[in-house]
């Protein structure tokens, strides 16, 4: 068998999930039976005890002290955060340009695939949509905008100042489709690109990402980042489950995360964005399967085209199952507004469960190593998971099952709001079937 060059690349392995059979010393029977029981029991309990909607979206929350909000919203605080994001961006760029093209000596790949991609999960869960405040492209856009205004002022007499240029409104039908495409592009880079840890690959991706978004922001204004930036969408979706949030009046509040999840805007591309998260994480788990590795090594198409088709198929399968579920729900319960987007928010905790299951070990082991490398002190032993194989197995299964149970709760509350009472429970049967299918598939990938 021809050795797979990607398998020997430490950061290609680093970029992948950590679920393989030797990592999970747990009985498949108990894992599957426990997951099925948890979902079924929660569904029955909700059907019997939860007859009216309890989540109030962005109208809920306990207001935090006004002084804390003043500090949080102060221009100095926002400027400091923007400066921090830009400094990190420039440090990453310098590392990719100047440090050796070796993932064992260059912290750049680990900064992208671990500290940023994986670290954004706990940061968004704890603090809210942090990437919106740190995004260096927003800062670059503002700086370029000011520079253009100054140049225009110099080319016109002071008595004839240039009229303010209003950005073109974003088409409503665009929604989050650009963000979904951007997320797919990043996961392709991580999971299917020929050499994802190469500094050349990362520099090309960074240049393409930066130039594309700055060009669109020049046309559509800063609102482009709200809708089109993949990582802002990623952070904002995960932040829906944060205990910190904003009420509809702009007040900073502590809230039940279900209220934040219920406030997820139903916009075009939302389903695609969540399905890319779910499908790419599922492919990440499946890519460690020996049969798939053998397929990549022997495919006449080559490794990258085959991996790309596998990633596309995984995302398409997740999306197809959800669309079939939406169609079945409409058939059982009758017409309702937004049959696809009405329950898309219930997939967010499922995606979060998958992300925790696949990337927790990566963050706690490779994250400190990347920081040590960046500080020039990476001379310690290879990092080990703090939980051990048994604890890691339990965490992974619990994360997947808990994510699905939270999804069932979110879907039930939305169902009793949208459907007539006599159809609310039966209308959720397709959703329950979808949750069970996703759960069994996710655990199956962990057990590999």
CA distance 153 to 165: 13
DSSP code, position 245: E
CA angle 431, 432, 436 (to 5 degrees): 115
Strands, sheet with 252-254, edge to edge from the N-terminal-most edge strand: 62-63, 252-254, 244-246
Phi–psi pair at 55, nearest 5 degrees: -95, 135
pLDDT for 113: 93
Q: Quick one: pLDDT at residue 97?
A: 93
**Beta strand segments in 293-435, E:** none
Six token digits for residue 184: 């797919």
d(CA 197, CA 363): 17
**In 50-119, alpha helices (H):** 66-73, 75-98, 108-110
Output b/e per residue, 310-341; b: 16+ Cβ within 10 A: bbeebbebbbebbeebbebbbeebeebeebbb
The residues pairing with 334 across neighbouring beta strands, listed in sequence order, are none
State the residue for tokens 């006449």.
Answer: 300
Contact 328, 240 (CB under 8 A): no
- Low-confidence stretches of the chain (pLDDT beneath 50): 1-23
Other residues' Cβ atoms within 10 Å of the Cβ of residue 27:
11
> In whole angstroms, how large is the CA radius of gyration of the chain?
23
Which residue do the tokens 């021809």 mark? 2
Contact 195, 9 (CB under 8 A): yes
- For residues 304 and 193, the answer to whether their CB atoms sit within 8 Å is yes
Residue 351 — left, alpha, or beta (φ > 0 → left; ψ -120 to 50 → alpha)? alpha
Contact 396/405 with Cβ under 8 angstroms? no
Residue matched to tokens 């944060």: 242
Please report how the helices 177-191 and 230-239 are oriented relative to each other, as an axis angle in degrees rounded to 10: 100
Considering only CA atoms, which of 332, 333, 356 is closest in space to residue 406?
Answer: 356
The 8-class DSSP code of residue 195 comes to -
Helices (H), 155-269: 177-191, 199-220, 223-228, 230-239, 257-262
């Amino acid at each position: 068998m021809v050795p797979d060059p990607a398998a020997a690349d430490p950061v290609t392995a680093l970029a992948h999930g950590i679920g393989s059979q030797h990592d999970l010393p747990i009985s498949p029977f108990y894992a599957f039976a426990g997951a099925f029981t948890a979902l079924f029991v929660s569904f029955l309990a909700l059907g019997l005890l939860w007859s009216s909607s309890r989540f109030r979206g962005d109208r809920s929350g306990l207001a935090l002290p006004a002084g804390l909000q003043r500090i949080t919203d102060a221009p100095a605080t926002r400027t400091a955060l923007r400066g921090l994001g830009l400094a990190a961006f420039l440090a990453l760029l310098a590392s990719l340009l100047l440090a050796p093209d070796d993932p064992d000596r260059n912290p750049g790949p680990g900064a992208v695939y671990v500290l940023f991609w994986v670290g954004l999960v706990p940061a968004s869960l704890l603090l809210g949509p942090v990437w919106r405040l740190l995004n260096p492209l927003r800062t670059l856009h503002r700086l370029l905008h000011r520079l253009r205004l100054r140049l225009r002022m110099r080319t016109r007499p002071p008595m004839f100042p240039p009229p303010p240029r209003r950005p073109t409104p974003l088409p409503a039908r665009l929604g989050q489709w650009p963000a979904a495409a951007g997320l797919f592009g990043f996961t392709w880079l991580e999971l299917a690109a020929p050499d994802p840890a190469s500094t050349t690959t990362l520099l090309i991706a960074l240049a393409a990402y930066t130039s594309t978004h700055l060009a669109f922001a020049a046309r559509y204004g800063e609102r482009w980042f709200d809708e089109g930036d993949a990582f802002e969408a990623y952070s904002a979706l995960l932040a829906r489950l944060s205990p910190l949030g904003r009420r509809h009046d702009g007040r900073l509040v502590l809230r039940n995360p279900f209220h934040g999840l219920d406030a997820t805007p139903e916009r075009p591309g939302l389903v695609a964005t969540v399905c890319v998260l779910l499908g790419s994480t599922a492919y990440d788990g499946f890519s460690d399967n020996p049969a798939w590795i053998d397929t990549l090594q022997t495919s006449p198409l080559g490794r990258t085209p085959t991996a790309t088709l596998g990633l596309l198929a995984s995302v398409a399968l997740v999306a197809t199952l959800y669309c079939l579920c939406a169609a079945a729900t409409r058939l059982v319960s009758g017409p309702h507004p937004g049959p696809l987007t009405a329950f898309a928010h219930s997939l967010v905790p499922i995606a979060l469960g998958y992300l925790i299951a696949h990337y927790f070990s990566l963050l706690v082991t490779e994250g400190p190593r990347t920081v040590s490398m960046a500080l020039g002190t990476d001379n310690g032993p290879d990092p080990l998971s703090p939980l051990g194989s048994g604890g890691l197995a339990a965490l992974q299964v619990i994360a997947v099952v808990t994510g699905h149970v939270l999804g069932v709760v979110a879907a039930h509350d939305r169902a009793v709001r949208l459907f007539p009472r006599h159809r609310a429970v039966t209308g959720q049967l397709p959703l329950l079937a979808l949750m069970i299918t996703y759960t069994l598939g996710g655990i199956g990938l962990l057990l590999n």
